[in-house]
Structure 1
Amino acid sequence: MKQNLIAFLIIGVILISSGLVYLVSKSDDDYTDGLNVLKTWELPPILKEVSGISHVDDTKIACIQDEDGIIFIYDLGLKQITKEIEFGPKGDYESIRIIDSTAFIMESNGNIYKVIDFKSDTRKIETYKTEFNSSNDMESLDFHSGTNTFLTIPKENNLTENGDDLIIYKLNPEDFTMGKELFFSLSYDDSIVKVEKLKFIKRGFSASELTIHPQTGEIFLLDSKVPRLLILNSDSSPKKLFMLDPENFQQPEGLSFDSLGKMYISNEESDFLKQNIQLVEWK
């Protein structure tokens, strides 16, 4: 009888402990419905830290990774890298945007590489220093045709005292200098926040990418720390916030659209998922 009692006590302790572990580890996020992964391409080991993607055309995507100054051209049909294009020394490269025959790459310290005729052996490379530095942790860059400027958003610290605000800056496309006028500024206490506010401000929003939809002009912001996707309307007002399930989006770092407006998201390698590019549908 005594042995049975001890056994029951041990089982009870195990069950209670398991329940506590579950409650502590269980996320209180409700992952958003209406966002589905339609297809996944597992990338080769050289791109395990894929940090940015941009479409060259509807079958090829330009990729960069954190360490090497190389543009990797990945063929979606062949499911392999078909070309490697060197543009700079080892660094911390975080965002790439292909515009016609020119590639623009942003480094986390704010440096921008402009690779003219990037697919050619006679390509020309220009380097620009912006007002940002490593403390801002820059990971986003895209061209906004409406203002004829590049847009970027710091992942960590703004250039103003409003460090907790969500601020999108405009950069001159000629020399990447910054004017006095901001493109967008949103305080987490602002009444125009129509997305689920508590989830929006929870643990801040660390933007790992900014990409503009080629047809609607909507602005898509990725957060890789707490996997989220925030969509702003073309007038910059908040439209939709997706809480991304980390079982599918382990570390979303890159986002690009093809000519039809289909969305592709890239993820760095994690402990349980390989680095990949995903074709993602949203509603």
Structure 2
Amino acid sequence: MSTLYVKIKILLNIFLAIFLLTGCNATEKKDTVNQEYDLEKPEKFNMPESLFEISGITFNQGKNDTVYAIEDEDGKLFRLAWHVIKQYHTKFSKKGDYEDLCIVRDKVYVLKSNGVIFTFPLSEAVFEEAENVIELKKWLPKGEYEGMYGEEATGDLYVLCKNCPSDDSKKSVTGYVLNPSDTTKAVSTFAIDVDEIKAITGKVSRGFRPSGIAKNPLTGEWYMISAVNKLLIVTDKNWKVKSAFTLNGNLFIQPEGIAFDKEGSLYISSEGDDLFAGNILKFKRLRR
């Protein structure tokens, strides 16, 4: 066997090894959140005292000039500009456990933990107290709810169950789709398969208990967070889990709110605790 042949064979083996190695790495990194957002490097906005227990955030048609928020004790809608501590608010109901909100077609929708949804015109948000507030009752089964997303194009509301008697959160979590303009109160459902999360994370302690949901406007993927599990999961348009990531507890104290602006930046809000104020973390999209 000639020396030249041996050298060529060695080089071929080296090239093959490099090809296989880079190919495997490319497969592992495909379709991961890390390619879209660096979840370790946020821009932080600490909340004023009035939003210490911030529980939900949203934008109007993805415009990030105004952040709309609620906290889980007072029936107030808050609005503030990014990095401006001064907030304004309008009262829409009495004290209660309010978990999430969205703005759809110039109407505000606020989700209470028992599944009741409050709605009023966005134009009322500039007044001290909102008028024409309507309660949407008995649309959803009994249970505990924390996440809601509003689809501007269709007017549909997507509501995630956190803890419902009809679910086994170690196996599946149910979501509901309703349209407030439908007088028949028809509701359709979708499901998140917890086994698909486990296939990525290895386990899901105490079952998957989501606290927020939003749709990425640039990809159409669904993003869901869980304060209980300290997880962020991403599904495709058909609710199949694509990726799941454990959130850094030093950054995400109690992540309950999630939203996107129209540029694709990701926002996650966390309640405060004894050491930290409530905050909103902003993650700019890495890929353009």
TM range (shorter): 0.7 to 0.9
CA distance in 1: counterparts of 2:186 and 2:169, whole angstroms: 18
SS in 1 for 2:202: helix
How far is the alpha carbon of 1:202 from its aligned partner?
3.0
Q: Deviations over 1:27-68 (max 9, x none)?
A: xxxxx9642332111111111111101124312101101111
How many angstroms does 1:111 deviate by? Answer: 0.8
Is contact 2:234-2:241 (8 Å) kept?
yes
Answer yes or no: is 1:70 the counterpart of 2:73.
no
Q: What letter matches 1:151 in structure 2?
A: Y
Please say if residues 167 and 173 of structure 2, whose CA atoms lie closer than 8 Å, have aligned partners that are also in contact: no
- 1-structure distance, mates of 2:285, 2:109: 27
Higher helix share: 2
Count of equivalent residues: 246
Instruction: State the one-letter code of the partner of 2:137.
Output: K
Of 244, 249, 260, the residue aligned with 1:246 is: 249
Is this contact kept in 2: 1:59–1:77, CA < 8 A?
Answer: no
**Which residue does the alignment assign to 1:143?**
150
Contact 1:231 1:241 in 2 (8 A): yes
What SS does the corresponding residue of 2:68 show, helix, strand or coil?
A: strand
Q: Is the 8 A contact 1:128 1:176 kept in 2?
A: no
The letter of the residue matching 1:124 is N
Distance 1:70 1:157 in 2: 26
Work out the percentage of aligned pairs sharing the same amino acid: 26
Please give the residue correspondences for 1:1-283 in structure 2 after superposition, counting only pairs within 5 Å.
34-56=38-60, 57-81=63-87, 83-116=88-121, 117-121=123-127, 123-132=131-140, 136-144=143-151, 149-159=156-166, 164-174=171-181, 179=186, 181-182=188-189, 184-189=190-195, 196-199=200-203, 201-281=204-284
Residue aligned with 2:144, SS: coil
Shift of 1:186: 3.6
Superposed CA RMSD in Å reads 2.7
Residues 1:149 and 1:273: Cα distance change in structure 2 (over 3 Å) = same
- CA–CA distance in structure 1, aligned partners of residues 169 and 162 of structure 2: 14
Give the TM-score normalised by the residue count of structure 1. 0.77
Contact 1:102–1:118 (CA under 8 A) maintained in structure 2: no
- Superposition deviation, residue 265 in structure 1: 0.7
1:84-108 CA deviation, whole Å, 9 max, x = no partner?
1111111111001022421100000
Residue 123 of structure 1 deviates from its aligned partner by 4.6
Q: Partner amino acid for 1:230?
A: I
- Segments of structure 2 that go 5 or more residues without pairing to the other structure are 1-32
For 1:72 and 1:103, locate their aligned partners in 2 and report how far apart those are by CA, in whole Å: 12
Quick one: structure 1 residues 125 and 198, their matched pair in 2 at CA, closer, same or farther if it must change by over 3 Å?
same
Query: What is the CA distance between 1:160 and its match in structure 2?
Result: 5.4
Distance 1:277 1:197, change over 3 A: closer
Q: CA deviation at 1:142?
A: 1.1
CA contact (8 A) 2:201 2:245 kept: no
Deviation at 1:243, TM superposition (A): 0.5
Mapped partners of 2:94, 2:256: distance in 1: 21
Q: Secondary structure at the match of 2:194?
A: coil
DSSP 3-state at the match of 2:211: strand
Q: Which moved more, 1:152-161 or 1:257-266?
A: 152-161
Q: 1:167 Cα shift?
A: 1.6
Match for residue 15 of structure 2?
A: none
Deviation >6 Å, runs of 4+? none
1:239 Cα deviation after fit = 1.3
